[in-house]
């Protein structure tokens, strides 16, 4: 036969298709496609390495190996009058002549013959050999074959074992060509025709139609290869019948539809896997849709919680500041009303001034401040508990919905992982909610706020309570105010001293109030900010295993979807190119 069955363009495309399918296989293996589906693509790709597969069958001593050698134009396989093929042998291209025995019934024989880069041949044991080799032959190689060469011997044509074996392989619907070998041992053309007629009649009964039948002499064909005279070699090959057989095989394998089928088959398998993977990807996206909605809802709950805290804490702190502002205004009014010439007789009575300052200015200042801070604490604790209830309820609803949608025993790895995460996160949050002690939380937060205030630069007297600290600071201001008249006499004061002292007292009082207000509000602001930022973080940390899983799955499926779309475009392009190169 000729040294190549494919054109240069076809050979180049074949190489590109193999590379494309290899990349496709790598991608599909990373997309959690079932292993059995991946294996089907791997087997289809292997068929490209044996682009055309010819299977030779027949009884031992029918000359199967000799016919194969004659077709290849080189003595590749052993020949002999005794059984030389005890196992199924796959003959394929290789850089070196090597026989690899896979097991007792199968071997691979490689040879650097150019034709074997496009054509693989299976040589088989005789049809009258042990049946277990025939099982591999009929179940593995005959279904993949492009042509079955059924070789019988002219001296023992169409034996019973051959007829039985022929009946086994016709169920695959493969093209079977009958070859009568050793016709050179027959004495006349009449004898050849009689043998041919006998084989044709028996084959027609089994196959239901007249098969292609060739009468050959592998011995004469091999002899022709050794003759140096071209004319004599040509004559011997013609007489051997091999040229007609070679022509037929080349035309059969070179058939456009057959080559197209060979090239399209693995692409079709890859396309089927791509559709499976796309369908799986779509179902996973749909399965994750409700989880995505839940994650969006949870993040919305937390963001709203955080937004409300940021927007509502400042006004509530402003209520505390307003108490201090009112105190300052009362203090300023007190100085205006008290440090007057008309009241000069009472200015020397410091204790009376102090008492009046406590009653008219301070009043229940510390209690007012504590009440406002306590209200803020209660609001924050209630807000925290409310958002935990919201999150716990959302997770419980999703868990119940998931269990309802996914009957037991039919869970995918994705849904199993989701169920595990929802249960874990839900249980943790439910535990937090059920064990949430509102009073304890409020007391701990109150102690924390008081301690934070007590540790500011203005209040270095220790953590003795917010009310006491405020009172102490303001009482010191009152001492400063009343002290301006402690050592004075009526003669000294006059018309100018009182206004000056009043102005000085008001300025000192304002300075102390500014310092107190700034320090207190800054401390309260940073304390509550830290507290609600910690509450938000704790909430996010508890649901993060679930939300992180959902986000990761979304990213994974988006990447997989893109890969599958690119694979689909590549497959369509390869299918289109086949039309051009066939």
| pLDDT tens-digit readout, 381-403 | 888 888 888 888 888 887 777 66
Q: Tell me: pLDDT of 133 over 90.
A: no
Two tokens at 469? 């600290």
Most confident of 189-203, 217-231, 317-331, 414-428: 189-203
How many CB atoms within 10 Å of residue 439? 8
Q: Tell me: pLDDT of 137 over 50.
A: yes
Give the rounded distance of the alpha carbon of 212 from its chain centre: 54
CA dihedral in degrees (190, 192, 194, 195; nearest 10)? 170
Q: Tell me: pLDDT of 424 over 90.
A: no
Q: Which of 278, 297, 279, 280 is nearest to 550 (CA)?
A: 297
Written in H, E and C, the secondary structure of 512-562 is HHHHHHHHHHHHHHHHHHHHHHHHHHHHHHHHHHHHHHHHHHHHHHHHHHH
Q: What are the structural domain ranges in the chain? A: 8-12+52-257, 288-378+443-581
Interatomic CA distance for residues 189 and 70, integer angstroms:
22
CA separation, residue 234 to residues 171, 220, 488 (Å) = 39, 11, 147
CA separation, residue 227 to residues 185, 235, 245 (Å) = 20, 11, 20
pLDDT digits 0-9 by tens, 482-532 = 454 444 444 454 555 667 777 777 787 788 778 778 878 888 888 888 888
Q: Tell me: pLDDT of 372 over 70.
A: yes
- Could you tell me the sign of the dihedral formed by the alpha carbons of 512, 513, 519, 523, in that order? positive
Model's pTM, two decimal places? 0.58
Q: Tell me: pLDDT of 246 over 50.
A: yes
Interatomic CA distance for residues 282 and 557, integer angstroms:
9
Contact between residue 53 and residue 62 where contact means Cβ atoms under 8 Å apart: no
Q: Which of 155, 290, 134, 158 is nearest to 213 (CA)?
A: 158
Q: Which residues pair with 474 in a beta bridge?
A: none
CA separation, residue 299 to residues 263, 540, 554 (Å) = 51, 8, 16
**DSSP assignment string, 478-524:** HHHHHGGGTT--HHHHHHHHHHHHHHHHHHHHHHHHHHHHHHHHHHH
| pLDDT value of residue 345 | 61
Q: Which of 121, 131, 419, 433 is nearest to 287 (CA)?
A: 419
Domain 8-12+52-257 classification at class level: alpha beta
Classify burial at 430, counting beta carbons within 10 Å of its beta carbon; exposed 0-12, middle 13-18, buried 19 or more: middle
Q: Tell me: pLDDT of 418 over 70.
A: no
DSSP assignment, residue 376?
H
Interatomic CA distance for residues 150 and 162, integer angstroms:
9
Classify burial at 154, counting beta carbons within 10 Å of its beta carbon; exposed 0-12, middle 13-18, buried 19 or more: buried
Residues 6+ apart with CB under 8 A from 165: 57, 127, 134
pLDDT digits 0-9 by tens, 91-103 = 888 888 888 888 7
Classify burial at 190, counting beta carbons within 10 Å of its beta carbon; exposed 0-12, middle 13-18, buried 19 or more: exposed
CA separation, residue 130 to residues 54, 55, 143, 171, 205 (Å) = 22, 18, 20, 21, 25
**pLDDT above 70: percentage of residues in the chain:** 79
Interatomic CA distance for residues 342 and 336, integer angstroms:
11
Of the listed ranges 19-28, 127-136, 361-370, 431-440, the one predicted with least confidence: 127-136
Q: What is the mean pLDDT of residues 116-137?
A: 69
Q: What is the mean pLDDT of residues 33-37?
A: 78
């Amino acid at each position: 036969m000729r040294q190549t069955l494919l054109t240069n363009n076809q050979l180049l495309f074949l190489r590109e298709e193999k590379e494309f399918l290899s990349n496709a296989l790598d991608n599909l293996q990373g997309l959690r496609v079932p292993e059995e589906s991946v294996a089907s693509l791997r087997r289809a790709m292997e068929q490209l390495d044996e682009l055309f597969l010819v299977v030779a069958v027949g009884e031992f001593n029918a000359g199967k190996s000799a016919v194969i050698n004659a077709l290849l134009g080189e003595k590749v396989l052993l020949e002999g009058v005794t059984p030389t093929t005890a196992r199924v042998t796959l003959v394929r291209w290789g850089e070196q002549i090597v026989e690899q025995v896979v097991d007792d019934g199968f071997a691979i024989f490689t040879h650097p013959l150019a034709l074997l880069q496009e054509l693989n041949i299976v040589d088989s044991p005789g049809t009258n050999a042990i049946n277990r080799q025939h099982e591999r032959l009929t179940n593995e190689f005959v279904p993949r074959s492009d042509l079955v060469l059924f070789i019988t011997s002219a001296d023992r044509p169409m034996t019973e074992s051959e007829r039985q074996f022929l009946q086994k392989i016709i169920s695959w619907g493969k093209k079977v060509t009958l070859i009568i070998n050793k016709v050179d041992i027959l004495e006349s053309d009449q004898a050849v025709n009689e043998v041919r007629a006998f084989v044709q009649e028996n084959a027609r009964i089994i196959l239901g139609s007249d098969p292609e039948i060739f009468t050959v002499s592998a011995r004469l064909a091999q002899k022709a290869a050794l003759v140096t005279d071209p004319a004599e070699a040509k004559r011997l090959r013609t007489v051997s019948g091999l040229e007609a057989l070679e022509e037929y095989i080349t035309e059969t394998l070179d058939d456009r539809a057959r080559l197209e089928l060979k090239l399209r088959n693995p692409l079709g398998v890859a396309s089927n896997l791509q559709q499976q993977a796309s369908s799986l990807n779509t179902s996973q996206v749909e399965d994750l849709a409700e989880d995505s909605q839940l994650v969006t809802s949870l993040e919305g709950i937390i963001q709203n919680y955080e937004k409300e805290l940021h927007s509502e804490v400042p006004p509530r702190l402003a209520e505390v500041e307003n108490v201090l502002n009112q105190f300052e205004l009362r203090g300023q009014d007190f100085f205006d009303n008290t440090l007057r010439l008309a009241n000069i007789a009472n200015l020397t009575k410091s204790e009376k001034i102090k008492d009046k300052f406590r009653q008219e200015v301070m009043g229940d200042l510390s209690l007012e401040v504590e009440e406002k801070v306590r209200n803020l604490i209660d609001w924050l604790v209630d807000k925290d508990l409310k958002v935990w209830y919201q999150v716990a309820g959302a997770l419980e609803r999703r868990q119940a919905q998931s269990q309802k949608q996914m009957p037991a025993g039919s869970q995918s790895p994705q849904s199993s992982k989701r169920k595990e995460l929802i249960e874990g996160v839900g249980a943790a949050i439910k535990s937090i909610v059920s064990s949430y002690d509102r009073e304890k939380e409020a007391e701990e937060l109150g102690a924390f706020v008081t301690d934070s205030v007590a540790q500011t630069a203005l209040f270095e007297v220790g953590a003795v309570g917010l009310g006491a600290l405020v009172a102490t600071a303001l009482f010191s201001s009152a001492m400063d105010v009343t002290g301006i008249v402690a050592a004075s006499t009526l003669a000294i004061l006059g018309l100018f001293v009182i206004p000056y002292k009043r102005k000085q007292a008001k300025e000192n009082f304002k300075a102390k109030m500014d310092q107190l207000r700034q320090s207190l509000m800054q401390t309260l602001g940073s304390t509550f900010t830290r507290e609600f930022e910690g509450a938000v973080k704790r909430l996010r940390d508890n649901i993060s295993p679930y939300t992180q899983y959902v986000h990761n799955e979304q990213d994974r499926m988006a990447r997989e979807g893109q890969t599958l779309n690119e694979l689909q475009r590549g497959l369509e392009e390869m299918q289109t190119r086949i039309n051009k190169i066939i």
